[in-house]
Structure 1
C-alpha cells in the first residue's frame, strides 16, 4: 500500500474507535434534508508525508489529482475568489450570483502588504524569501483574516502554510482548523503536496516533508458506513507524480506539467452526502 493509505486507514480507525461524538450538541452543519449533521471527531491529528519517498495519493479510491491541482492553482497562482476561473464546480454552492466566494482564499493570498523590501502579496513573499532568505523561520502565509471574515462565504478550512528549509529540502506545515475526512482529506493532502513540489522546483530545492495538522478531524455520521467499507479495501503502491523540469516560474505551471504514472486505485465512491 502507499504510505498515504496507511496513514488514512490508521486515522479513520482511530477516529471511529476512539473519537468523540457530537450527537445532541449544538452544531452548525446540516444535511440537505435539514437534519443536523453530527460527527465523530479527534482533536489535533498530525500526519507527516515524506515527498522524497512517494507522492501521497491514497489508492483505496482514486483522488482526482489534476482536479485537486487545478483548485490549488486557482487559489495560489490565479489568486482568484471567483468560481468562473475554476474548471470544476466544487465551490459553486458557496458562490454568489457573480461567482464570487467573497474575500476568501485566493483574495487573501493576492492582497498586497507592505514589507521592508516593498509591497508583495503573500505568495510572492514566500517565493521572495525562498530565493533571498531561504533559511528564515518566518516564511509563512495566513488567510484566516478576522477583519474580513464577515465578507467570506466560507471561513477558510486550510488556512496557514509554514515553509522551512532543511539542507536542500523544502518542508511545509499545513494548518487546517477543520476537515471532513471522507470528502476532503486526501484531496487537501494531494493539493498541498503539489504546491510544495512547485515551490521547491522554482526555488532550487528538493521536496521534503509535508506535515498536515488538523485541529478538528471528523467523520460525519452518514459517512461512517462508507469509511468502514473504504478502509477494508485492497491497496496498491503509490503513483509516481513528477513535474515538468523545464518550468522555473511558479506562475507558468499548469496541470499538464504534472506527470502521473501507475496510479492504480479502487472504485470511486459516488454521491457522497455533503453537510453544509
Structure 2
C-alpha cells in the first residue's frame, strides 16, 4: 500500500464518520439539474507526504498525471489565466468567451512586484530566494488577492505555497519542503490531483535550485465530500491498493521554464479502474 492511499482512505473515513453535514444550509454550489450540492465536511485536514520516500499518486484509481502536470505548468510556468493555453477542459465552466478566467491563478503569479533586489513576479522571487537565500523564512506565494477577487471567475482554492529548506540527514544536501494551503477541496474530484501536481512542482523547484525534494504538507481548511459522491467514495476506499509508482524527472533540466510534460513521468503505475461520470458541482 502506498502512503498516499492510506492517507486518502483515513481522511475519507474521518470525513464520513465525523464530519459536519451542510444539508439544508445556505450553500453556493449547485448540480447541473439546479439542485443545491450539499457536503459532509471536516475543518483543518493536514496530510504529510515525504517525497523522498515515494511519489504520492493514488493507486485506488488512476490520477490523470499528465493533465494535472499540464495545469500546474499552466499556472506556475505559463502564468496564464486563459483556458486556450491549457490542454484539458477542466476550467471551461469558469471561462468567458475569450477563454479568460479573470485575474485568477496564473495571472496573479505573473504580476511583477518591487523588491530591493529588483522587479520580479512571485515565481521568479521564489526561485531567486531558493538559490540565493535558501534558509529564508519568507519564501512563499499567495494568489488570494482581495483587491482582485471581484475580477476572478472563481476564487482560488489552492492559494498559497510556503517553502522551507532543511538539510537531509543522510545525504547532507539541502532539502526543499513546502506547505500547500487550500481553503476548500472537493475530495473525490480534486484531492490527489492537487497532491500530485504540487508534488511535481516541488520536485521541479528543488532540482533547479540544486536541492532534493522533501516533505509536502497539505493543509485543507474545508475538506468535503459532496452528497452525490458519497457512494462513489465508499466504493473507492474499499478497493485493493498497490505499491506507489516510481517518479522520473529529467535530470538535465536546470531552468524551471524549460520543463515540459515530457520531462516528468510515473513508471510502474498500477491502479484500480477509472471512476466514470463523476458529477461536478459548480
Tell me if both proteins adopt one fold, taking TM over 0.5 as the criterion: yes
User: Aligned partners of 2:255, 2:78: CA distance in 1, in Å?
Assistant: 14
Q: Could you say what secondary structure the match of 1:114 adopts?
A: strand
User: Aligned partners of 1:242, 1:56: CA distance in 2, in Å?
Assistant: 13
Q: Could you say what secondary structure the match of 1:128 adopts?
A: helix
Aligned to 1:132: 132
Aligned to 2:50: 50
User: Aligned partners of 1:87, 1:27: CA distance in 2, in Å?
Assistant: 31
Aligned to 2:72: 72
User: Aligned partners of 1:24, 1:99: CA distance in 2, in Å?
Assistant: 35
Aligned pair partner of 1:234 in 207, 229, 240:
240
C-alpha RMSD of matched pairs (Å):
0.4
Aligned to 1:180: 186
Kindly report structure 1 stretches of 4+ aligned residues shifted beyond 2 Å: none
How far did residue 213 of structure 1 move? 0.1
User: Aligned partners of 1:22, 1:259: CA distance in 2, in Å?
Assistant: 39
User: Aligned partners of 1:267, 1:12: CA distance in 2, in Å?
Assistant: 19
TM norm structure 2: 0.97
Aligned pair 1:275/2:281, yes or no?
A: yes
How far did residue 85 of structure 1 move? 0.4
Q: Could you say what secondary structure the match of 2:253 adopts?
A: coil
Aligned pair partner of 2:197 in 191, 197, 201:
191
Aligned to 1:142: 142
How far did residue 239 of structure 1 move? 0.5
Aligned to 2:157: 157
User: Aligned partners of 2:94, 2:62: CA distance in 1, in Å?
Assistant: 25
Aligned to 1:25: 25
How far did residue 259 of structure 1 move? 2.8
- Whether the 8 Å contact between 1:244 and 1:259 is mirrored in structure 2 is no
TM norm structure 1: 1.00
